[in-house]
Structure 1
């Protein structure tokens, strides 16, 4: 699949992307909202430059990118003539769980424990109480994902044969712009280079270890198959996004709206998630902090992903990603 022409692909004067010609290598690009791309290898005079390299020098690169975006002189290529890849190959991926209040309540109801015969209203009230307590105690939930699960925003997603309940989870992804360790919440925005779209696919059947419940969740198995994290298409600089805590997150499945919620429903806001992750880990430029997914996943609708499904995800100001599901072994 390819990006479709649009009057404005994203918010702001420019975004970062990783592109390629049909037969050429990937290269970092500056993309303008009208869909024109400029090869940043030429701008920085480095044939081996990657988008991660640009993020590694973000504080000095950003002013230069602003100037290049405003200069109509350099030759540019239409994005529709190029292949769009995941915008960055991060070193680390941090994923936030249980961060949208309504989503977690719906999951709590859908994942009925064996032998739990309580009515739905009682279980929903229990989940709401848990969410309110987590917010009051200021305890986000963050775990790590694998960069190898990332794929492009228009690539096919292979559903493994073993995945019995593959599900979608559209999320706002934070892209780190400089190394961060033990950062206070009020300082966290300084460490954010920009934002992009992630679809954090999950096989619901393997989230919990049935062989030994005491082990808990199995995120390796349930979330990290190759291609289970479609990413992009663009990294939009944080200066172009007025309020990341009030963006519309929307996913359509075969043209039918499944998720449609504001990031305002997040229990822990963007700055808090970045700060929390940095209290333990050292965040590096290009790293991703996924901020959780809103209500409307497949478990809620009783309809999981299958061969031929097309997911289209949008977040305010960040563009559109469109991926098709293909069963493992299918042509």
Structure 2
């Protein structure tokens, strides 16, 4: 169970109040999914926030009952499209405003975008994740800070998104019943596609930007499969149940243009704090700007399209050994799919120095695989000291104008352990 939401530490309070003040100045409509006072899933408009979380929400079902009810992923996408149109053209209905107490956030605030495991499995939705898209994160993980398009990592995220305040189960290590030892965090700017994308015929950037919506994501990772198989282990390491907290709300792409290294109007701050279980230690783990992003959402899509047309995408398998595609066979990305744009520096994983790499190689008997196994062992032995998340940690993830997540790492897995460790490569 999560701890009570009340914050006692002045640093976190200050972080939250600053976020809240910035958000209140934002006039762009903010859309979310939530559980209404009557216990029904509805689309809503954020009216008031406190410490980056929604505290008063207009239930759009008060104007149109079709904004409420249990729906399929496709029906929810249709709701979302209508919700954005509604909040841009219709004033707030004061009689439909519902208060959301801070103690209710985990139960009432849902992922802004509904994507089921079945939709991912049946390729009705895709989650395209970009890696190594910030210079400082590239440097800390052992890559050149200046990247070309060929250096951008693209892989599929194969787990359903959860709400911004729901507990995150730590999960099992592959092939064992032991807890994940190297749980890493990644604050990321995410976007949802509001129309289908054809990688054979991309829309121009203006059309694209008016058919997306932005939100906060935390793209969690079990680093073990990635250390063992650095070319192909990303899907396995990043697709445990609960490893994609999303939200709390969305802003339409016509209202916000996040900056990146070559443009954009709005420089957004990306921040992540971790508070240990006792509440005594608070670590500012990540602090970056969207303007440090090497490739924005549209450029990521262009790179994906180019690799699709050249048939040069790296195939990776998920935790069950199933190849994880990034698009349909005909090059389509269905509406409702997500793009995760990468994380700034400050993650727990750090590449060893050249001297350390040499030492690992020698200590492992001049074996590359042995050196990786030894590096993994040393990371696991010092996991808490290195900043990997532990059961009981509270994680605060914020992006300017898009709100702040707060969730706790809990024991458990969300699914039974997987007995075997399938190859991550499709070769």
Q: Which bracket does the TM-score occupy, shorter chain normalised?
A: 0.7 to 0.9
Residue 166 of structure 1, aligned match among 169, 172, 183: 183
User: Who is 2:285 aligned against?
Assistant: 258
Aligned partners of 1:179 and 1:191 also within 8 Å: no
TM-score, length of structure 2 as denominator length: 0.63
Residue 194 of structure 2, aligned match among 158, 169, 177: 177
Alpha-carbon distance in 2 for matches of 1:138, 1:209: 22
User: Who is 1:204 aligned against?
Assistant: 223
Alpha-carbon distance in 1 for matches of 2:335, 2:172: 35
Cα distance, 1:166 vs. partner? 0.7
Alpha-carbon distance in 1 for matches of 2:257, 2:47: 18
1:201-280 superposed matches below 5 A: 201-209=220-228, 216-245=231-260, 246-254=267-275, 255-277=282-304, 280=308
Alpha-carbon distance in 2 for matches of 1:145, 1:66: 31
Q: Does the alignment pair 1:75 with 2:68? A: no
Cα distance, 1:144 vs. partner? 1.1
Alpha-carbon distance in 1 for matches of 2:235, 2:37: 33
**The residue matched to 1:197 in structure 2 has which SS?**
strand
- Please list every run of 5 or more consecutive structure 1 residues that lacks an aligned counterpart in the other structure: 109-126
Aligned partners of 1:261 and 1:294 also within 8 Å: yes
Q: Which has the higher strand share?
A: 1
- Which moved further from structure 2: 253-262 or 235-244? 235-244
User: Who is 2:163 aligned against?
Assistant: 152
Aligned partners of 2:171 and 2:241 also within 8 Å: no
User: Who is 1:38 aligned against?
Assistant: 58
Aligned partners of 1:8 and 1:33 also within 8 Å: no
What is the RMSD computed on CA atoms of the aligned residues?
A: 3.0
User: Who is 1:98 aligned against?
Assistant: 132
Cα distance, 1:191 vs. partner? 5.0
- Please list every run of 5 or more consecutive structure 2 residues that lacks an aligned counterpart in the other structure: 7-15, 50-54, 116-124, 174-179, 261-266, 276-281, 309-326, 351-384, 414-427
Cα distance, 1:52 vs. partner? 6.0
User: Who is 1:63 aligned against?
Assistant: 85
Alpha-carbon distance in 2 for matches of 1:288, 1:206: 23
Alpha-carbon distance in 1 for matches of 2:198, 2:234: 24
TM-score, length of structure 1 as denominator length: 0.79
Aligned partners of 1:247 and 1:315 also within 8 Å: yes
Q: Whose radius of gyration is greater, 1 or 2? A: 2
Alpha-carbon distance in 1 for matches of 2:44, 2:304: 29
